[in-house]
């Protein structure tokens, strides 16, 4: 009898339910349900509709019952940094604000009244991003202090969904590290930092590692979905799950060393794995982050704006009646010769009213050729991303003292052939692209490892290599 595992992978724009099985050492996937996601404006705040999302989670679970494919376990991963506060009756306090909301503007300076940016990095190893949870909580403290006063629970978004499924509250480690409130040496909350910032210590309990059993589905959920299973923590931060699924060559004793990856989606997360966090000044100045990973590995990476820019352009064009697929935009971009580049990490691209106008304005202000056509705009974005990847590799090699001969691109962006070739050309490295469903695969791997389907992470990653197509891109020239 086949043993099924269910990954619920929720991204910033969509979510999916994927069943996984292991047969003859290979992982097989079956997508059974998909739904839309996105921030919604409630009043003057950009928020996640967590009630609707949880409804979609249950609807996808019902499909398992209809198919007669009941999972032995399930787990949920989402994006990072966002959370909910619950009162003593487990009711949400306020909205589930999204990371693109501007409520954190100026909150960094308030944090630095208590601790300097340098000292904060040395304590946590997390790069400064204005939407980090630490700044979100400071915004609540300043603007809605009653929410913190009445809060009894603090749960990151996937932790909240796991609680709704089981009635059990657990705070998962990999996502917790993105709050900028976790000590990388101890792997637990930095309570001294938390208390110095005026955040209630009681909200921050023991951290649980991927592979931890949360519990069985509650009676109510069993009745709604028609089955029961265990809920097991994956790396609930989607990048943590995606990095777990970076494939390695079977039988190569050095395959787990010096892996360079890009988890490519709405964001591009580019980096390597370290066994010890690098909280040095040089690392801070280069804006690298030490996010927690499976088995207390560190995802030493840089957050790059990623495909959010091209996603926004595509949506904006569609609203004007110009509908293109991503493949069509790639094809159009490949025919352009425009040389203009933008800084993908500039805050002007985080949540502009018009991404097209933001790209044009950046080029105009930099006295570069201003893109006019959809193909030119796409070309500027794709070339800028590839250039950013090239700069990041140079910084990474300078800091670590290592050389990375290849780049593994995983996630949805691994299907962007034009960008993959540009990345190979810009960096002079071979690019290995795939698997595309890396986040869901990593989610499943944590569950499968908990059920002893594999002997360890290395064997699991070897199974990924055997199971999914990985396409190779050689650099045509070094730019």
| Sequence-distant (≥ 6) Cβ neighbours of residue 257 within 8 angstroms | none
- 3 contacts 447 by C-beta, under 8 angstroms: no
**CA distances in angstroms from 364 to 140, 341, 357, 361, 370, listed in the order given:** 37, 11, 10, 5, 6
- What distance in Å separates the CA atoms of residue 107 and residue 118, rounded to the nearest whole number? 16
- What distance in Å separates the CA atoms of residue 396 and residue 389, rounded to the nearest whole number? 10
- Assign 468 to helix, strand or coil: coil
How do strand 45-48 and strand 207-208 relate by DSSP bridges?
unpaired
Q: What values do phi and psi take at 457, rounded to 5?
A: -60, -40
- 369 contacts 406 by C-beta, under 8 angstroms: no
User: Is there a catalytic annotation at residue 238?
Assistant: yes
- What distance in Å separates the CA atoms of residue 19 and residue 6, rounded to the nearest whole number? 5
- 476 contacts 424 by C-beta, under 8 angstroms: yes
**Catalytic entry in 77, 238, 278, 425:** 238
- What distance in Å separates the CA atoms of residue 223 and residue 74, rounded to the nearest whole number? 17
| Sequence-distant (≥ 6) Cβ neighbours of residue 371 within 8 angstroms | 338, 340, 359, 360, 363, 377, 379, 380
Which of 301, 299, 376, 392 is closest to 343 using CA atoms?
Answer: 392
234 preceded by a cis bond (ω within 30 of 0): no
Q: Which residues are tagged catalytic?
A: 238
């Amino acid at each position: 009898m086949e043993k099924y595992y269910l990954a619920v992978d929720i991204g910033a724009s969509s979510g999916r339910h994927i069943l996984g099985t292991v047969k003859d050492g290979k992982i097989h996937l079956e997508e059974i349900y998909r739904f839309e996601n996105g921030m919604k404006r409630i009043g003057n705040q950009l928020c996640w509709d967590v009630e609707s999302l949880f409804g979609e989670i249950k609807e996808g679970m019902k499909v398992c019952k209809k198919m007669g494919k009941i999972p032995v376990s399930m787990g949920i991963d989402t994006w990072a940094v966002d959370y909910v506060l619950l009162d003593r009756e487990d009711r949400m306090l306020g909205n589930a604000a999204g990371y693109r909301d501007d409520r954190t503007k100026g909150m960094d300076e308030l944090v630095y009244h208590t601790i300097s940016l340098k000292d904060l990095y040395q304590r946590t190893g997390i790069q400064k991003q204005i939407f980090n949870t630490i700044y979100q909580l400071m915004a609540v403290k300043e603007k809605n202090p009653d929410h913190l006063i009445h809060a009894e629970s603090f749960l990151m978004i996937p932790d909240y969904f796991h609680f709704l499924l089981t009635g059990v509250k657990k705070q998962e480690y990999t996502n917790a590290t993105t709050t900028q409130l976790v000590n990388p040496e101890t792997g637990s909350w930095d309570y001294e930092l938390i208390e110095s910032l005026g955040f209630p210590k009681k909200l921050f309990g023991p951290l649980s590692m991927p592979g931890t059993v949360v519990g069985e589905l509650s009676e109510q959920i069993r009745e709604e979905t028609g089955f029961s299973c265990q809920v097991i923590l994956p790396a609930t931060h989607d990048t943590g799950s995606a990095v777990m699924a970076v494939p390695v060559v079977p039988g190569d004793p050095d395959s787990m060393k010096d892996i360079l990856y890009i988890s490519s989606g709405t964001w591009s997360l580019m980096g390597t794995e370290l066994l010890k966090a690098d909280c040095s000044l040089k690392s801070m100045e280069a804006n690298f982050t030490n996010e927690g990973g499976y088995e207390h590995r560190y995802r030493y990476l840089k957050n790059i704006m990623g495909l959010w820019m091209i996603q926004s352009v595509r949506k904006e064009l569609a609203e004007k009646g110009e509908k293109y697929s991503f493949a069509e935009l790639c094809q159009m971009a490949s025919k352009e010769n425009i040389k203009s580049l933008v800084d993908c990490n500039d805050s002007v691209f985080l949540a502009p009213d018009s991404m097209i106008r933001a790209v044009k304005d950046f080029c105009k202000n930099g006295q570069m050729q201003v893109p006019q056509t959809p193909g030119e705009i796409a070309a500027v974005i794709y070339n800028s991303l590839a250039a950013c990847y090239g700069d990041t590799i140079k910084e990474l090699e300078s800091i670590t003292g290592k050389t990375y001969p290849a780049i593994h691109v995983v996630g949805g962006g691994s299907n962007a052939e034009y960008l993959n070739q540009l990345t190979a050309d810009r960096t002079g490295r071979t690019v290995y692209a795939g698997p595309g469903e890396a986040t869901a695969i990593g989610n499943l791997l944590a569950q499968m490892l908990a059920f002893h389907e594999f002997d360890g992470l290395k064997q699991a990653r070897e199974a990924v290599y055997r199971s999914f197509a990985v396409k190779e891109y050689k650099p045509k020239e070094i730019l």
